[in-house]
Homo-oligomer: A and B are copies of this chain.
Amino acid sequence: MPDLLATGGTVFDLSADHRLRNPREYPRYYRREHPHPELLSEAVYGLPELHRERLRRARLVAVPGCIATATILALAPVARAARSSTARAVVDAKSGSSASGHDTGPAGQHAERSGVMRAYAPTGHRHTAEVEQETGLPTALSCHAVEAVRGVLSTVHLVGVEVPEERDLWKIYRSAYGAEPFVRIVHDSDGLHREPEPKILSGTNYCDVGFATDPEHGRAVLLGALDNLGKGAAGAAVQCFNVRHQFPETRGLEFLGLHPI
């Protein structure tokens, strides 16, 4: 990476190698020391919704993971508003088969993957570190594989806060995302798609966020949905590229490739 940066270009890194600012998180979550910890303070986490200004001048962009993006976009604005030292999040994420990459061995074979509801990382998932870094909240993450080709749904249970009312959540999200080209607030009282649902986002760069309140149980449920092959990875990288190089932010993102579907 130092050699690559020495060429003078801007690097958009889709791996996890520069997502974490704190070098100590690498041995903890990735089981190795980071070989160039000095790069971590320079790298900008590739969520324009949180870091657009810094992205405009970045040399090294660390494009986020798909589960992290869905979780952070749902949680970050509410976490900021809550300002509570007791706040914490329990995150239950679901993802489709393309999130595991192109060839994943026996576990990804159709006969084994069809119809699963598999807690493949009930604890210890690596995206935990990204989420805690970007939201500032202690986050307990559990990840599940379910049957879909594309899609991530992150169900974020926010506890330890004074539960906001629905109208407050509308305000918080509108304030955070009202001008965002790729984040939509979804919370309807009828229809098939009342809450964010990755199925309707296939082939797009959108992340839909939504919510429900549960004051009796001291909980707000925040939802983030996206296409892991769109906003969850390659789409996010293109969006960051557009921000960095002063292209219109939606350039190349109005229609994404649709294979596999």
Contact = CB atoms under 8 A, between A and B. Distances in A.
Given A117-B148, A259-B200, A90 B124 contact: no
Nearest to A132: B217
A247 to B, nearest CB: 20
B119 A97 contact: no
A212 interface: yes
Contacts of A98: 111
Contact of A109 (B97, B195, B211, B255): B97
A81 to B, nearest CB: 19
A151 B115 contact: yes
A217 B138 contact: yes
A106 interface: yes
A256 B169 CA distance: 33
B260 A114 contact: yes
Contacts of A221: 119, 122-123, 142
Contacts of A123: 212-214, 217, 219, 221
A179 interface: no
Contact of A116 (B90, B148, B157, B211): B148
A94 interface: yes
Contacts of A115: 96, 147-151, 199, 261
Contacts of A107: 192
A8 interface: no
Contacts of A102: 106, 109
A140 B217 contact: yes
A105 interface: yes
A218 B140 CA distance: 9
Closest 10 CB pairs of A and B: A92-B92, A140-B217, A110-B113, A97-B110, A117-B153, A122-B212, A115-B148, A123-B214, A147-B147, A146-B146
Given A97-B114, A110-B110, 19 more contacts: A110-B149, A111-B149, A111-B260, A112-B192, A115-B149, A117-B151, A117-B153, A118-B195, A122-B155, A122-B195, A123-B213, A123-B217, A124-B212, A124-B214, A138-B217, A142-B155, A142-B157, A199-B261, A200-B259
